[in-house]
Amino acid sequence: MQTKRKEHESEWFLNVIGHVLFTSVFLVSTSGRGLEGLQKPKNVYVNSTNMRHILRWSPVRVPLGEVSYSVQFQGEFERNHRKTWVAITECSSIKETWCDVTADVSSDVDYNLKVRSELGNVTSKWETLSELFNRKETNLTAPRLTVEESGSLVTLDVSEVKKNIKARIYYWEKGVEQQVMNIFMDQSQRPYYLPVQKGVTYCFQAQICILEYNKSSSFSDIVCEAVSDDITSNSNVVTVATVLLLGVCFLVTSLFCIVKFCCWTRHVFFPKVSAPNFPNLENLQAVVLKAEDYSQESCDAVEVRYQSEALLCVHQALTAQEKINNSTDMDSWPINSVSYGNVSQSQWPMQITYQRRYQSQMNLEHAKLSHEKITLQMLAESDLR
């Protein structure tokens, strides 16, 4: 197995060496002769159809390597004044045996074109056209006509219409061939919209032409198209409206189902949690205070005396210490006038002193209410947690 592989590699190596030696000998032998070493292309001509110009030639065959080609052109100005040739960049060192020279042959003058073959550094002689070429000689072929009906309009299109080529379209009502009408269509009007009567069948035929050269092509195939009437149009409108209505209903139903599904999902995965109710402490305190029993409240007797010297002496006998002790336990209300029996207000001014002796009991009640309030606050906080 290894022996066969070695033999195959040796054979491939010898073939490569042979090709290299042959190419070297060929290049050395042709280098001294210059342009005579490589054959030039033959059968050079221009194939011009519908204002598209293609330069063609026969391929050059060599034993080894692949030949490339280059093309140059010469217009009337270059030929008569400059005596120069212009190289076509898109057709330099190409492998194909054709070149599109439409962009270079851009006027209605005579052009000359030439091509040569190339192999490495070796080039052949130039081969030119047998006679000058003018784009007026272009051939016009039968066009392809497309007809589409849309209500009261017919859309017409001719594929071969371009910058320098227009189309003449003939049309008539089917069965009335003697009344033929025609229109012209250029590149700016493509496609062409033709107003027609509804319910009538029209036939169309077209040909392309170049008015400047007075050249026309052969006619295209006849295409007939029936224009729909109002009944068909109304049925189409009803069909379209029905489809749109069904589409809207389907869209609304889909949106409703999606919203319901989202609400259900939200209630399942994100249930609503309400905060616990707890009593208002201020109202509770007010209720407790209102409901409190004052039946056990102790009261001090109010003693009413006439203002006299003895009362004034007793009143003045109070020491400063007694006033301090009784400052928080006594409330005094001066009464300007009180009348009892036959004693008048103006004649007997008096002072009523009232002393509350149950302050200690009220302090105990206040402490009790404070304790209840703290207990309720702790219960509310525990419920919130």
Q: What is the mean pLDDT of residues 172-180?
A: 89
Q: Answer yes or no: is pLDDT of 19 > 60.
A: no
**Predicted local confidence at residue 368, as pLDDT:** 77
Report whether pLDDT(122) > 60: yes
The larger pLDDT score, comparing residue 306 to residue 225, is at 225
Question: Could you tell me if 77 and 26 are in contact, meaning their C-beta atoms sit under 8 angstroms apart?
Answer: no
Has residue 357 got a pLDDT over 70?
A: no
Sole residue written with tokens 């009408």: 181
Return d(Cα 117, Cα 94) in angstroms, integer. 10
pLDDT at 130 over 60: yes
Indicate the SS3 state at residue 162: strand
pLDDT score of 159 = 87
pLDDT tops 80 at residue 99: yes
Question: What is the identity of the amino acid at 266?
Answer: R
Going by C-alpha positions, the residue among 100, 121, 128, 118 that lies closest to residue 59 is: 118
HSE-CB of 383 using CA atoms within 13 angstroms: 12
Residue 370: per-residue pLDDT: 77
- Kindly tell me if the per-residue pLDDT of 385 is higher than 90: no
Per-residue confidence (pLDDT) for residue 378, from 0 to 100: 78
Q: Using CA atoms, how far apart are residues 323 and 321, in angstroms rounded to an integer?
A: 5
Under DSSP, the state recorded for 81 is I
Residue 134 has pLDDT above 90, yes or no: yes
Element (H, E) at 313: helix 309-316
pTM (predicted TM-score): 0.52
| Angle at CA of residue 309, ends 306 and 310, nearest 5° | 80
Give the whole-number percent of the chain exceeding pLDDT 70. Answer: 63
Residue 342: is its pLDDT beyond 90?
no
What gap in Å lies between CA 355 and CA 300, rounded to an integer?
7
**pLDDT at residue 375 in the model:** 78
Round the average pLDDT of the chain to a whole number and report it.
Answer: 76
Find out whether 228 and 198 touch, Cβ atoms under 8 Å. yes
| Span 55-84, pLDDT tens digits | 999 999 998 789 999 999 999 999 999 899
The amino acid that residue 112 corresponds to is: N
Is it the case that residue 356 has pLDDT exceeding 60? no
pLDDT in tens, 179-224: 899 999 999 988 999 998 888 899 999 999 999 999 999 999 999 9
Please return the burial class of 312, using the count of CB atoms within 10 Å of its CB with bins 0-12, 13-18 and 19+. Answer: exposed
Instruction: Give pLDDT, residue 268.
Output: 72
Q: What is the pLDDT of residue 372?
A: 76
